Structure 1
Amino acid sequence: MKTLAARFLLSLGLLSLAAAALAFPAAAATVIITADRMLDVVTGRMLANPKVVVTDGRIISLDGSGAPVDAQRIDLPGLTLLPGLIDMHTHLTSDPRVGRVDRFLKTDGYWTLVGAESAERMLSVGFTTVRNVGSGRFDDVALKQAIDDGRIPGPRIVPATHALGATGGHCDNNWLPPSLAEKAAGIADGPEALRARVREMRKFGAEVIKTCATGGVFSRNTEVGQQQQREEELRAIAEEARMWGLTTAAHAHGTEGIKAAIRAGITTIEHASLIDDEGIRLAKERGTWLSMDIYNTEFTQSEGRKYGVLEDNLRKDREVADAQRENFRKAHRAGVKMVFGSDAGVMPHEQAPRQFAVMVRYGMTPLEAIRAATVNAAEAMNKAGQVGRIAPGAFGDMIAVPGDPLADVTTLERVAVVIKGGELVADRRP
């Protein structure tokens, strides 16, 4: 009895200490980050000798003001600071190096662990925020929670959970015979059924609703140009998501599916490979964002066969590759709003920064490509002021690169330092 009483009193004491800690929180943690230069992605100007002050994960000043004398320092001589990068189209729980047959030999939980590895890789190459546009078993929500709780390293995740789509369409399970077939969790047909799916995905953690408006490259029994959802179905998704305060993303390679998604009010069009002049005009008129993954075909065509990609999928990839890149050029020239989306997971996640050089090759200036992965992406996610720029009030998410990324955008392939919330999370300096 004495032992039980002692344990009870000890428990009360611990509870009292916890209550006191809540009543009197610890002093705010502050860090000062200095570098030779800092890119203001809004104005395009380089600022000399920044002193970025981050308190409890948020930026409070750019000139050193507000920092206590004993603040921690991260000094980055010789480097250029930029905002942490944002990738608007990732699949963290996918790995293109696991072949189609081998995937059926893995247990379900294997892909959650793949996602943890992918998240760390993306963070290490400079992506401090990613939008994960579709995963099974709500894995992207699990990853977000584990990262936010500090259990595993990774970027800030905006999860879509299960992608919505039509029966037999790109986002359905089309690889199994009828005796083993199972509908993917996001599949529904008709406006009201799709509205219900939006509510279900939001209920379990979706912050963006992804839907598949057309066929795709890596699915079976679909063609990329094939529209698979009617405009009224896409409109129901967009309206329902907007009512709940969510943005939307439509996988759409095909010309008519792209235009239907734009007219329906979808926030971002993913891939947009076969967009035509009318689609470009509609996107510009309605302020629709295009997210065009114009790098990953290089990995698919050079390495895909080695990892078991079927010839039919390689064919579809070849058919859209050049058209997508030229349409990227045309859309950019027309002034359509664009964001950075790599489709990481179709190629290894750490290769995502290679897309910047391709965006410049097809018409963007380095500054425009950087903006696509910073301020533009933040605006498209309704997170302007939180991520995508180095400014008071934003999260202290930054990268540092050698040299001048406005003169050579490939410096973004050699990120030296990654800082998330004021914490040094990757350091490749010699």
Structure 2
Amino acid sequence: MFGECHAHLIMDGLNYRRAVDLHADGVKDKVIQSRFRLYQELGILFVRDGGDAGMVSKRAKELSGEYGIDYRTPVFAIHRNGHYGGIVGCGFDTLREYHQKVMDAKALGADFIKIMTTGILDFNDHGKITGQPLDKEEVKEMVHIAHEEGFAVMSHTNGDYGVQAAIEAGADSVEHGNYISEETISMLADSSTVWVPTLVTVRNLMGSGRYDSQILARIAAQGEENLRLAYRAGVKVALGSDGGAYMVPHGWGLMDEYHAFLDILGTLAKVAEIDDWLTKGEKEIRERFKRDA
């Protein structure tokens, strides 16, 4: 099975607050171990985490070897205060403070740096991203600082402006990347950035009753068309489900993501061709998102 290139071991796929509260008085090894056992049973032996604010992914890295899992983590994500990101990490106000967060992550054993440059999808309003994206010059400097410290950069980013800024900055991967245009997809194809679409964060909400099904269908349809365009353009793409997000269970979420790719691209390519495409993307992730010795 492919590796999981975007997960959050701290989350449980059902209730974020409850999942975080489980570790309120200390990280619970049994919770992490149960999730690793599931990944192991499903043959998923590579997991790249997106970090958290509670040191759960740091402890997960220490436990992962017991299950034969190659686990990579930023320990925590880094966001500008007042912008989206507190759910998974730590904030900064100045670039000097950002640099210190990078050094803090290094001291804690981070394998790479994760930055948050935009908000998330507004599931009640098709086409809308919450909050304001970071200025592209700031994103460029954030990526530069992390690279100078020997780290690859995972960028949580949505929308044309945000994704184009991340690409131009040299981010090593863009996570989610919703609501992007054909021009941005062309930029991805011409860059070294790997795109991790996390399609099931939308698809798995269908029928849940949590959001308007018509709005979800429109969001999903745009994501599907962008994936087809990315395949035709030769964008580097890796499989990641955002495992642990709402309605995206650990392990099985990756299976859902893989089958979504087959469903969407089935008229364009054979399974073996899709597998080859994803294998190349995962190889890029494995090679880049590790500590620079």
User: Aligned runs of 1:120-131 on 2, under 5 Å?
Assistant: 120-131=37-48
Matched, 1:349 2:250: yes
Q: What is the CA–CA distance in structure 1 between the aligned matches of 2:209 and 2:34, rounded to whole Å?
A: 21
Question: Do structure 1's residue 334 and structure 2's residue 233 form an aligned pair?
Answer: yes
Contact 1:267 1:289 in 2 (8 A): yes
Contact 1:272 1:290 in 2 (8 A): yes
Residues 169-222 of structure 1, C-alpha deviations (whole Å, 9 max, x = no match):
22125xxxxxxxxxx752113433322222211221111211111111489xxx
Does 2:5 align with 1:96? Answer: no
Q: List runs of 5+ in structure 1 lacking aligned partners.
A: 1-83, 174-183, 306-310, 385-430
The answer as to whether partners of 1:138 and 1:162 remain within 8 angstroms in 2 is: yes
Distance in 1, Cα, partners of 2:280 & 2:146: 23
Aligned to 1:376: 281
1:105 Cα deviation (Å)?
Answer: 5.6
Q: The residue matched to 1:89 in structure 2 has which SS?
A: strand
Answer yes or no: is 1:157 the counterpart of 2:109. no
Q: CA deviation at 1:339?
A: 0.9
- Cα separation, partners in 2 of 1:104 and 1:218, compared to 1, 3 Å: farther
Letter in 1 for 2:93: D
Runs (5+) with no aligned partner, structure 2: none
CA contact (8 A) 1:227 1:257 kept: no
**Is the radius of gyration larger for structure 1 or structure 2?**
1
Letter in 2 for 1:187: G
Q: Which of residues 145, 148, 151 is equivalent to 1:243?
A: 148
TM-score, length basis structure 1: 0.58
1:160–1:264 distance in 2 versus 1, CA, 3 Å:
same
In structure 1, give the amino acid aligned to 2:264.
Y
Q: Structure 1 residues 317, 198: closer, same or farther in 2, change over 3 A?
A: farther
- Distance in 1 (CA, whole Å) between partners of 2:89 and 2:7 is 19
Describe the superposition over 1:80-111 as per-residue Cα deviations: whole angstroms up to 9, x where unpaired.
xxxx52111111110122365x4576452366
* Aligned residue pairs, count: 279
Task: Provide the C-alpha distance between the structure 2 equivalents of 1:354 and 1:297, rounded to a whole number of angstroms.
Answer: 11
Tell me how far apart the structure 2 counterparts of residues 315 and 241 of structure 1 sit (CA, whole Å).
Answer: 40
Q: Given that residues 199 and 220 in structure 2 are in contact (C-alpha distance below 8 angstroms), is that contact kept between their aligned partners in structure 1?
A: yes
Q: Percentage identity across aligned positions? A: 23
Shift in alpha-carbon separation, 1:146–1:104, aligned structure 2, 3 A: closer
1:233 aligns with 2:156: no
Partner Cα separation in structure 2 for residue 111 and residue 316 of structure 1: 38
- Aligned 1:73-152 pairs, distance under 5 A: 85-98=2-15, 100=17, 102=18, 106-108=22-24, 109=26, 113-148=30-65, 150=66
Question: Where does 1:22-421 land on structure 2 (aligned, <5 Å)?
Answer: 85-98=2-15, 100=17, 102=18, 106-108=22-24, 109=26, 113-148=30-65, 150=66, 153=67, 155-172=69-86, 185-217=89-121, 224=129, 226-303=131-208, 305=210, 311=211, 320-346=219-245, 347-351=248-252, 352-363=254-265, 364-382=269-287
- 1:128 shift after superposition: 0.5
Structure 2 letter corresponding to 1:367? A
Deviation of 1:372 (Å): 4.9
Q: CA RMSD in A?
A: 2.9
In structure 2, relative to structure 1, the CA distance for the partners of 1:217 and 1:120 (3 Å cut) is farther
Distance in 2 of aligned mates of 1:298 and 1:110 = 31
CA distance in 2, matches of 1:323, 1:199: 38
Bigger helix fraction: 2
TM-score by length of 2: 0.83
Q: In structure 2, what residue type is equivalent to 1:350?
A: G
